[in-house]
Structure 1
Amino acid sequence: MTTFSDVEFVVRTIAQTAVDNEKYFGDLDSVVGDGDFGYSLARGFEIVLKDWDSYDRTDVSTFLSKIAIAITGRIGGTSGPIWGTAFLRAAATVKGHSEVSGDDVVPMLRAAIAGIMARGGAELGEKTLLDALSPVADTIEESIAAGDSSERIVSAAAATARRAADATTPMVARRGRAAYTGERSIGSPDAGAVAVAVILEALASRWGNRTA
């Protein structure tokens, strides 16, 4: 069973990683996009950190929904609706749950992915964060089925995310501002996919030291 504190740990790590990597994510995005990805993500998640203690923790779904509302209202451009939708869809999957189990994690991720696809109109292979997030969900599903420990699952997910993010480098961007650059987008990884990898790597490095 994954405790509520584990959910909080994941969300807080996502938020802190987004803030810490504002310049890095922005620099990546500026290669083929408008360069505001890092700034937008950091502005949204710094609000999450600032208001951390105020979020309703009645249950996991309520907590995640409040996070979604906060980042949607603060993150600019297309990233706000996309990341907000991901959190909302994941929240809906565990409505009424005070805790989430390993069996909940994959449906939460699948719901988030479906939400991103519906909101952004993106498909796999179009050089977006989906190209990292979808393989991560597959890896987690396989690791859970194999009976791996949570540490091994998070570590495997991080490794998959990094490989998947790197694999976006030769792709042609089909969505977002980067799509306007066409073949000039070839040769640099997608900023959103890299963000997924960096977040998973942060989770993996800190997982053993999280507080219960």
Structure 2
Amino acid sequence: MSSDALGQTELVVRTIAETAVENERYFGDLDAVVGDGDFGYSLARGFEKLLEGWDDIDRTDVGTFLKKCGMTIASRIGGTSGPIWGTAFMRAGVAAGDKKEISGEQVVAMLRSAIEGIKARGQSDVGDKTLLDALVPMTDTLEQQLQQGRSAAEALTAAAATARESAEATRDMVAKRGRAAYTGERSKGSVDAGAMAVAVIVDRISEVRSR
């Protein structure tokens, strides 16, 4: 990441927020198959609030910015998604600290911190048919690509492809966490809404960052 770490972070967060709002119906429809269908609505309303107060978010440094975003998300997104997505942003912010420049290695560390926060908050892990089933493999690919010397754009493109493949693979899983877990075997045959949301968002970030 360039020395304009805050600017790049703002671009990524804004892309996440706008993508969540734009895909409200799609994410809701995915969730309605085995859940209560409110995932898209909850996510969109929370990120709308973030965008409404966009200019007032503390931009002292990347860490502060992400933590403030996380606090807004946690308080505004309904259901279980608020604490999970909010925790992810806050943990990433803690990992970023007051750094003015952020390397690809540090981005991976921020994602790993977010993942650990999600695991702890949601009492879930890879294989439980949640957003982790896209987020973890995506982060693994990003790290591998960067270690192999790929550019940020190349690494992100590969990570987005992994996120999409991994989200699609949740179709064969039985949900063990969230409302979908109550449906047991009936949760098989449909993709997890949270995992697909991660795939759609990372795909959009990849597009925006490659321009």
Fold in common (TM above 0.5): yes
Which sits farther off after the overlay, 46-55 or 185-194?
46-55
TM superposition shift of 1:67:
0.3
Who is 1:33 aligned against?
35
* 2: CA distance, partners of 1:63 / 1:183: 41
Q: So what's the TM-score if we normalise by structure 2?
A: 0.97
Identity %, equivalent residues: 61
Who is 1:74 aligned against?
76
Which sits farther off after the overlay, 197-206 or 75-84?
197-206
Of residues 117, 121, 129, the one that matches 2:123 is 121
Q: So what's the TM-score if we normalise by structure 1?
A: 0.97
Of residues 83, 86, 89, the one that matches 1:87 is 89
* 2: CA distance, partners of 1:99 / 1:42: 30
1:164 aligns with 2:166: yes
Who is 1:4 aligned against?
6
* 2: CA distance, partners of 1:52 / 1:135: 30
* 1: CA distance, partners of 2:195 / 2:174: 14
TM superposition shift of 1:39:
0.3
TM superposition shift of 1:97:
1.1
Runs of 4+ aligned structure 1 residues displaced above 4 Å come to none
1:103 aligns with 2:100: no
CA deviation digits over 1:107-157, x for unaligned, max 9? 101110000000000011010000000001100110110111111011011
* 2: CA distance, partners of 1:114 / 1:181: 26
What secondary structure, in the 3-state scheme, does the structure 2 residue paired with 1:124 have? coil
Who is 2:61 aligned against?
59
What secondary structure, in the 3-state scheme, does the structure 2 residue paired with 1:76 have? coil
Unaligned runs of 5+ in 2: none
Unaligned runs of 5+ in 1: none
* 2: CA distance, partners of 1:89 / 1:140: 19
What secondary structure, in the 3-state scheme, does the structure 1 residue paired with 2:37 have? coil
Who is 1:193 aligned against?
195
* 2: CA distance, partners of 1:208 / 1:82: 28
* 2: CA distance, partners of 1:113 / 1:196: 12
What secondary structure, in the 3-state scheme, does the structure 1 residue paired with 2:185 have? helix
Instruction: Give the counterpart letter for 1:76 in structure 2.
Output: G
Who is 1:23 aligned against?
25
CA deviation digits over 1:156-201, x for unaligned, max 9? 1110000000000010000000000000000000000000000011
Instruction: Give the counterpart letter for 2:121 in structure 1.
Output: R
Alignment size in residue pairs: 209
RMSD: 0.8
